[in-house]
A and B are shown apart, each in its own frame.
Chain A
């Protein structure tokens, strides 16, 4: 038990004996093996005969592109999916993990990329959920005490009585980690844990990883960022198209090798961006205030302007008012105070359609939720924003022939891979859906392009396509607003960057004159003005 004594001493608030008796992994955790795991989804082979080994005390990075099968594999380990074939061994004993309940009993915990938290409940209620050691009556009271004890030792601070929706993404993540550790997790899986954090918060998280690994735990974290792999992991496994390409000690490899393994070919990290002078001012936002869903002001006094041939990037951890800002500019949300001017016309509180008619494209975040109608065919999605006007329709009827021809043009020009324009959109891949949305938007409204997280969840080829297209549009004279959580992308593409924190700009800077550290500090709230 030596390996675990330190952890258990940390968990002093917990009844240690009870915990041991109930968990099936009573022995010291040494290793975990996945053998020949195969998982097929309709039309996709997500995991193809994967064998992998994890050891106690290591930090193991699972590297791969979007769609490489990393999350599926971890969901299998956590009992959410069942493999079509393959076996799991803990300490060389075969185990049968049929549900998360089993996984938890074997000491496996998982922090999903989209947190598995009940938004309307408190942290305490979320932790008490399904937790054996919480009392039947008034369970949260007891849990609060335990969280308190626990926070002190690990530096994982979180208020047990706060409702989840009131917390920042970083705090929510801490709640998730505590949830797993309180249940006695010895293997902790984290899916893209840094995607919601500032660089500094990510650094703190890595320190916690180190402490946990030192006390004998195994940390598995999924990522597609090479920097993180080198910064923190002991070993790294690369997945591509559902297959393990290699597992290696991180110290014995380099960035280029891993990148090649991840993508399957050599890739350049360079994006060609020409120096061109900016043109006339197309979009101007002045002292804008916007309220969020809960009625509180979440965009505070934001001002900026974008010219032709310019990309204005908005960086920041998501949830700091970016979504509401974009919705206010595109007419989806009421403006509380301030003005939005597009082509010198005031457009605050105008209908999305009127704003679209001024030449404003909107590539929305959560493209499946906002951008398309999944159950309708491609051609009916192409006209989503234009169906009401000629030449797409007459007084009453849709010009189906014209619409189909036009859709074919969008599909061809933006290389949307689809069997035909009659295909239901939900059958297309994420990358192709994004090409479809971008094509639809900028083909008929190229002046101002509002792009919210345009590369989120796309594979490298599609990401590349989107980036190049935005730069091309910049050269052709578009004014582009780019909102992204991907700092690298923001810095690569933008001419000017505004950093948002708690609804305010903490800085408006030029990418070339700013370091990553400064960006991180601004994302965490320190103000800096260039």
Chain B
């Protein structure tokens, strides 16, 4: 008779990342199987995704463009998750950041130069995302409200708020019939690498923030406090740490980074505010998977974001070529997450077979 024996690993080694890579591959394969439901050869679909994302210069350019918001959101989520604050609200924080930046762009874009407008857009986007993040932080620490539900509710509220604006008061005069604001004036637009949609200001900010976050977590007092409150709140209390302050700092950064991602999308891709599904293709949710797959290490998140940017681009490719709904990408994301969670088990536990 065979018996499973499960033991917690004493030390995790880098070699164990093999389980994550395996999980990634299995998740992709499992997701592609669902295409056979629609009569599409799964392997063909997979190769189409990869070729679309990484197989051409055009694909790689798009992949980089898509990885920018992912990187920012994931870096922010890593800070929150380190503090065991389950921020599922990067999506909403991104949208509010986009909204704030739009207001600045429309208000000052025509009258001021880019040196004034662009930094102000980034700052306001950060502030918007941070504001949207502070709400669940206060609700949790002050009133014990579950942050998962609070952040998800705030996603819906943000989405409806944006829709209200673009269908109502902010609806532009120039886009007849479309729920868009007016386009930003040139000085409120981010410069692109010619021939691409890579708004490199945001890309540079994203990479710098990821690196800075790495140091923040390991070398800065507040990063230390976030780790301690996340790992053992009782010990944090014993040390006299201020939960409200720490949680607010966490969410200012976490939400703020997502807000910057929102700035990049409106000022670097669309040049106007439009309905929420257009601004964010679920970046806030995909970023959760990136954060987890990076084992909450922001440096790793840079590379993982690039990979997931590719999945988004490849997803777009098969959506258009096979006429699939936008939600298809959720299948990829969810199955990868499911397999990654399974992989986590094998990373943390040693499973052996004992014969009897």
Interface of A toward B, CB cutoff 8 Å: 41-43, 331-332, 351-354, 356, 362, 364, 369-376, 380, 383-385, 387-388, 393, 396-398, 400, 427
Which residues does chain B contribute within 8 Å of A372, judged by CB atoms? 232, 235
A397 touches B235 (CB 8 A): no
- 8 interchain pairs (CB within 8 A)? A352-B240, A371-B238, A372-B235, A373-B231, A380-B224, A387-B221, A396-B221, A398-B220
Q: Which residue of B lies closest to A368 (CB)?
A: B232
Q: How far is the CB of A36 from chain B (nearest CB, A)?
A: 15
B220 touches A43 (CB 8 A): no
- How distant is the Cα of A385 from the Cα of B220 in the complex, in angstroms? 15
Which residues does chain B contribute within 8 Å of A369, judged by CB atoms? 232, 234-235
Q: How far is the CB of B87 from chain A (nearest CB, A)?
A: 20
Which residues does chain B contribute within 8 Å of A42, judged by CB atoms? 7-10
Which residues does chain A contribute within 8 Å of B355, judged by CB atoms? none
Compute the total of residue contacts between A and B using a CB distance below 8 Å. 70
Q: A371-B235, A373-B231, A373-B232 are in contact. Are A397 and B221 (CB under 8 A)?
A: yes
A374 touches B221 (CB 8 A): no
- How distant is the Cα of A388 from the Cα of B241 in the complex, in angstroms? 10
- How distant is the Cα of A375 from the Cα of B234 in the complex, in angstroms? 14
A352 touches B237 (CB 8 A): yes
Q: How far is the CB of B348 from chain A (nearest CB, A)?
A: 12
Interface residues on B, range: 20 to 34
Residue of B9, B224, B235 touching A398 (CB-CB under 8 A): B224
Residue of B224, B227, B234 touching A370 (CB-CB under 8 A): B234
- How distant is the Cα of A397 from the Cα of B215 in the complex, in angstroms? 9
Which residues does chain B contribute within 8 Å of A43, judged by CB atoms? 10
Which residues does chain A contribute within 8 Å of B227, judged by CB atoms? 373, 376, 380
- How distant is the Cα of A384 from the Cα of B232 in the complex, in angstroms? 11
- Mark interface residues in B222-238 (1 if CB within 8 Å of A CB, else 0): 10110110011011011
A385 touches B239 (CB 8 A): yes
Q: How far is the CB of B259 from chain A (nearest CB, A)?
A: 22
Q: Does B219 contact A (CB under 8 A)?
A: yes
Q: Which residue of A lies closest to B240 (CB)?
A: A353
Residue of B219, B225, B231 touching A375 (CB-CB under 8 A): B231
A388 touches B221 (CB 8 A): yes
- How distant is the Cα of A380 from the Cα of B219 in the complex, in angstroms? 11
Q: How far is the CB of B103 from chain A (nearest CB, A)?
A: 32
Residue of A351, A384, A393 touching B228 (CB-CB under 8 A): A384
- How distant is the Cα of A301 from the Cα of B234 in the complex, in angstroms? 27
- Mark interface residues in B1-13 (1 if CB within 8 Å of A CB, else 0): 0000001111100
- How distant is the Cα of A351 from the Cα of B241 in the complex, in angstroms? 9
Q: How far is the CB of B65 from chain A (nearest CB, A)?
A: 33
Most B CB within 10 A of own CB, among A369, A370, A400? A370
A332 touches B237 (CB 8 A): yes
Which residues does chain A contribute within 8 Å of B7, judged by CB atoms? 41-42
Q: Which residue of B lies closest to A395 (CB)?
A: B221
